[in-house]
Structure formats: C-alpha cells, structure tokens
Amino acid sequence: MIISVLNQKGGCGKTTIAVNLAALWHDQGRQTLLMDADPQRSASRWAEQGNQGGFPFPVHSLDMTLGARKVKAEIQAVVGGREMVVIDCPPELREPAMLASLLSDLVVVPVTPSPLDIWAAEAATGLAQDARELNTQGRPRVLLVPSKTHPQTLLTRDLGKALTALGEEVSPVGISQRVALAECVIQGQTINQYAPNSPACEELTRLSHHILTLLGG
Ligand SMILES: Nc1ncnc2c1ncn2[C@@H]1O[C@H](COP(=O)(O)OP(=O)(O)OP(=O)(O)O)[C@@H](O)[C@H]1O
Ligand SMILES: [Mg+2]
C-alpha cells in the first residue's frame, strides 16, 4: 500500500505525520519504507539527528522530478516485499505531487485549523481527485486529517465541518498540537520511541489503525 502525505501548505505537519505513521506501522510488525520526496530532506535529516544511527525502518530519498517511469522503477527497486510505503511530499502541488497521487492508494492531507489552510486543503484535495479521475480503480482515496489542533478552540471545532464540505473522508482522529512531537525530532526519534505513553503517540496510533481499516488491511 502506498500512502502519500501531501499538502502545498508549508509546515502543516506532513513530515511529522508521515514519519510517525511509518514508525507506528513498523512497530506493529508491518514492513515499512519511508520515501522522502522533499528536496528539503526533512524526514532524512530527522533520521540523522541524535546518535541512534537512523530510524528502525528505512528512509529512501526519492527525486519525484525524474518523471513517472523513473520514479516508478525506483520505487519498485527499493520496495522489496514491504507492505507499507509512505511518501512524504514537498509543500507544492506541481508534477511531483500529481505523480505521488497517481501512484498512491491513499493521499493523506494534513490540515491545520485556519481558514487559509482549509483553502489550501481544497487545492490539495482537488489534485488528488484529478489523479483519481485519471486512474481506473478509484484510487487514490483521500483522507483529510486535522493537524496541529488546539482542542478547546472554536477554529478546531469548525474544522471538521469545513473539511466535510470538501466531499472526501475526514479522519475522526486529529493530531493535536503537542510539544513532544516537536521535541522528538531533536533526538532523532519517532514519537513511539521518544514518548510511547504520550497523548501524541496515542493519537498517531489511532490514526495508523484508522488508515489500515480504511484500506482494508
Ligand atoms: N502536532 C504537532 N504538534 C506540535 N508540533 C508539530 C505538530 N506537527 C508538526 N509540528 C511541528 O511543526 C513544524 C512543521 O511540521 P512538519 O515539518 O511536519 O510540517 P510539513 O508540512 O512537513 O512542513 P513542510 O511543508 O516544510 O514540509 C515542525 O517544527 C514540527 O515539529
Ligand atoms: Mg515536510
């Protein structure tokens, strides 16, 4: 299964969600590979932090500008028998994002609770819908995931309603703004390594389960 985490909005939580989903699926015994498709190399640099020698699952750099045939061949060459492939996309909606969408079973769109970000999510959703139009088997599905939310605020409460209006599935599990999710990066750790009993880890675990249920796995 290929899951792309995509949104042109910078800093909405793509890398945080991509890395931790990969980490949790790995922890749940699923062979997982993280593809870092962002020239910023955020996921790769995160893995290089600290003195652990990387994440316990592979992170592979993927140059999405090489075009469909080469990217597809590269994924096939590195995927081996792995069950879960997570692609962390750059903050843009150009050809690489379309290519990632075309290759994916699911496009995860993290959305922060602000009207500006909901407009951005509409464009990201539209791109994934265009990819689905071009594909033949109803793929990719889209999952809109509330990200960096503050549970007590009106904006967060309204987010679900605004996302539902985009006509795609809205995750019942949102990822709250939690300091542990920023701190674990400094240590080069994923949330299940850094704070396994934290509410942040619990939310991401629930999201990982929800996605597997959605994809029938
Ligand atoms: N739920 C969260 N709680 C606290 N901090 C978060 C959360 N999600 C992301 N962050 C922090 O916000 C910043 C941006 O997050 P992240 O890098 O995951 O976003 P991104 O969408 O991948 O950014 P880019 O568009 O640059 O690729 C980082 O410092 C990250 O640690
Ligand atoms: Mg990123």
High-pLDDT (> 90) share of the chain, %: 91
* 195 Cβ below 6 A of ligand 1: no
pLDDT of residue 154: 86
38 Cα: distance to centroid of ligand 1 (angstroms): 14
High-pLDDT (> 70) share of the chain, %: 100
120 Cα: distance to centroid of ligand 2 (angstroms): 15
Averaged pLDDT score across all residues of the chain: 95
The ligand that comes nearest to the alpha carbon of residue 177 is 1
pLDDT of residue 151: 83
Residue 217's pLDDT band, with cuts at 50, 70 and 90, is low
Structural domain count, the chain? 1
DSSP letter for each residue of the chain: -EEEE--SSTTSSHHHHHHHHHHHHHHTT--EEEEE--TT-HHHHHHHSTTS-S-SS-EEE--GGG-HHHHHHHHHHHHTT-SEEEEE--S--SHHHHHHHHH-SEEEEEE-SSHHHHHHHHHHHHHHHHHHHHSSSS--EEEEEEEEE-TTSHHHHHHHHHHHTTTSEE-S--EE--HHHHHHHHTT--HHHH-TTSHHHHHHHHHHHHHHHHTT-
Residue to mutate, 7, 8, 15, ligand 1, most ligand atoms under 8 Å from C-beta? 15
pLDDT in tens, 75-115: 999 998 899 999 999 999 999 999 999 999 999 999 999 98
CATH of the domain at 184: 3.40.50.300
pLDDT of residue 92: 94
Q: Which atom of ligand 1 is nearest to the CA of 110?
A: 21
Q: Which atom of ligand 1 is nearest to the CA of 7?
A: 21
Instruction: Answer yes or no: are the C-beta atoms of 117 and 111 closer than 8 Å.
Output: yes
Q: Which atom of ligand 1 is nearest to the CA of 147?
A: 1
Nearest-angstrom CA–CA distance, 215 and 52: 32
Nearest-angstrom CA–CA distance, 34 and 87: 6
Q: Judge whether residue 66 has pLDDT over 70.
A: yes
8 Cα: distance to centroid of ligand 2 (angstroms): 10
- The tokens describing 95, both together, are 């050809």
The pTM for the full model equals 0.97
Q: Which domain holds residue 160?
A: 2-214
Q: Which atom of ligand 1 is nearest to the CA of 38?
A: 27
* 28 Cβ below 6 A of ligand 1: no
96 Cα: distance to centroid of ligand 2 (angstroms): 14
105 Cα: distance to centroid of ligand 2 (angstroms): 20
Total Cβ atoms within 10 A of residue 134 = 9
For residues 42-79, one letter each, b for 16 or more C-beta atoms within 10 angstroms of the residue's C-beta and e for the rest, the string is bbbebbeebeeeebebbbbebebeeeeeebeebbeeeb
- The tokens describing 109, both together, are 């769109």
Nearest-angstrom CA–CA distance, 74 and 68: 10
